[in-house]
Amino acid sequence: MTEGTGKEKGCIFCQILAGDLPCYRIYEDELSLAILDVNPFSKGHCLVVPKRHVPWWHELSPDENASLFRVAKAVAEKMMIALDPDFVCMYARGRRIPHTHIFLVPT
Protein backbone atom coordinates (compact mmCIF):
# COMPACT_ATOMS: atom_id res chain seq x y z
CA MET A 1 0.00 0.00 0.00
CA THR A 2 1.17 3.55 -0.56
CA GLU A 3 0.80 6.97 1.02
CA GLY A 4 -2.43 8.63 0.03
CA THR A 5 -4.50 5.43 -0.05
CA GLY A 6 -5.29 5.71 3.63
CA LYS A 7 -3.21 2.71 4.61
CA GLU A 8 0.51 2.07 4.60
CA LYS A 9 1.93 -1.43 4.93
CA GLY A 10 3.78 -1.78 8.23
CA CYS A 11 2.35 1.42 9.77
CA ILE A 12 1.20 0.71 13.32
CA PHE A 13 -1.48 3.41 13.19
CA CYS A 14 -2.86 2.08 9.90
CA GLN A 15 -2.98 -1.39 11.50
CA ILE A 16 -4.88 0.04 14.49
CA LEU A 17 -7.28 1.90 12.20
CA ALA A 18 -7.88 -1.27 10.17
CA GLY A 19 -8.74 -3.16 13.37
CA ASP A 20 -5.71 -5.43 13.05
CA LEU A 21 -4.20 -4.22 16.35
CA PRO A 22 -6.04 -3.46 19.58
CA CYS A 23 -6.37 0.03 21.00
CA TYR A 24 -8.39 1.92 23.55
CA ARG A 25 -10.46 4.42 21.57
CA ILE A 26 -11.14 7.66 23.40
CA TYR A 27 -12.90 9.74 20.75
CA GLU A 28 -13.27 9.86 16.98
CA ASP A 29 -14.97 11.54 14.09
CA GLU A 30 -15.08 10.63 10.42
CA LEU A 31 -11.47 11.72 9.77
CA SER A 32 -9.53 11.35 13.05
CA LEU A 33 -9.15 8.97 15.99
CA ALA A 34 -7.90 9.55 19.55
CA ILE A 35 -6.44 6.55 21.41
CA LEU A 36 -4.61 5.97 24.66
CA ASP A 37 -0.84 5.71 24.22
CA VAL A 38 0.52 2.24 25.08
CA ASN A 39 3.65 3.83 26.63
CA PRO A 40 2.18 6.89 28.35
CA PHE A 41 4.24 9.80 29.65
CA SER A 42 1.45 10.39 32.19
CA LYS A 43 -1.98 9.02 33.05
CA GLY A 44 -4.34 9.72 30.16
CA HIS A 45 -1.65 10.38 27.53
CA CYS A 46 -3.44 10.12 24.17
CA LEU A 47 -2.52 10.14 20.51
CA VAL A 48 -4.70 11.74 17.86
CA VAL A 49 -4.20 10.36 14.35
CA PRO A 50 -5.79 11.03 10.99
CA LYS A 51 -7.60 8.02 9.57
CA ARG A 52 -5.75 8.42 6.26
CA HIS A 53 -2.04 7.64 6.23
CA VAL A 54 -0.27 10.98 5.88
CA PRO A 55 3.34 11.28 7.06
CA TRP A 56 3.36 15.03 7.83
CA TRP A 57 0.57 17.20 9.25
CA HIS A 58 1.07 19.89 6.60
CA GLU A 59 0.18 17.27 3.96
CA LEU A 60 -3.30 16.76 5.42
CA SER A 61 -6.28 18.10 3.52
CA PRO A 62 -7.90 21.18 5.07
CA ASP A 63 -10.76 19.00 6.36
CA GLU A 64 -8.35 16.43 7.84
CA ASN A 65 -6.30 19.18 9.49
CA ALA A 66 -9.42 20.75 11.00
CA SER A 67 -10.61 17.34 12.21
CA LEU A 68 -7.25 16.46 13.79
CA PHE A 69 -7.18 19.64 15.85
CA ARG A 70 -10.93 19.55 16.61
CA VAL A 71 -10.57 16.01 18.02
CA ALA A 72 -7.44 17.04 19.96
CA LYS A 73 -9.34 19.97 21.49
CA ALA A 74 -12.33 17.80 22.44
CA VAL A 75 -10.08 15.21 24.10
CA ALA A 76 -8.02 17.84 25.92
CA GLU A 77 -11.21 19.39 27.31
CA LYS A 78 -12.32 15.97 28.55
CA MET A 79 -8.86 15.41 30.11
CA MET A 80 -9.11 18.70 32.00
CA ILE A 81 -12.39 17.57 33.56
CA ALA A 82 -11.54 13.90 34.20
CA LEU A 83 -7.89 14.19 35.25
CA ASP A 84 -7.65 17.78 36.59
CA PRO A 85 -4.10 18.41 35.31
CA ASP A 86 -2.47 21.85 35.34
CA PHE A 87 -2.65 21.76 31.53
CA VAL A 88 -2.58 19.39 28.57
CA CYS A 89 0.63 19.57 26.57
CA MET A 90 0.15 19.11 22.83
CA TYR A 91 2.76 18.49 20.21
CA ALA A 92 2.77 17.01 16.72
CA ARG A 93 4.83 13.98 15.84
CA GLY A 94 5.53 11.93 12.76
CA ARG A 95 9.24 11.19 12.51
CA ARG A 96 9.60 7.87 14.37
CA ILE A 97 6.24 6.62 13.15
CA PRO A 98 5.70 8.30 9.76
CA HIS A 99 1.94 8.77 10.22
CA THR A 100 0.95 12.21 11.48
CA HIS A 101 -0.04 12.17 15.12
CA ILE A 102 -0.53 14.58 17.97
CA PHE A 103 0.51 13.79 21.52
CA LEU A 104 -1.85 15.01 24.25
CA VAL A 105 -0.13 14.72 27.61
CA PRO A 106 -1.91 15.79 30.81
CA THR A 107 0.73 17.52 32.94
Is 101 a catalytic site residue?
yes
Q: What's the gap between Cα 87 and its chain centre?
A: 18
CA dist., res. 34 & res. 63, Å (int): 16
Contact call for residues 44 and 106 (beta carbons, < 8 A) = yes
**Which of 45, 53, 99, 101 does the annotation list as catalytic?**
101
Supply the residues annotated as catalytic: 101
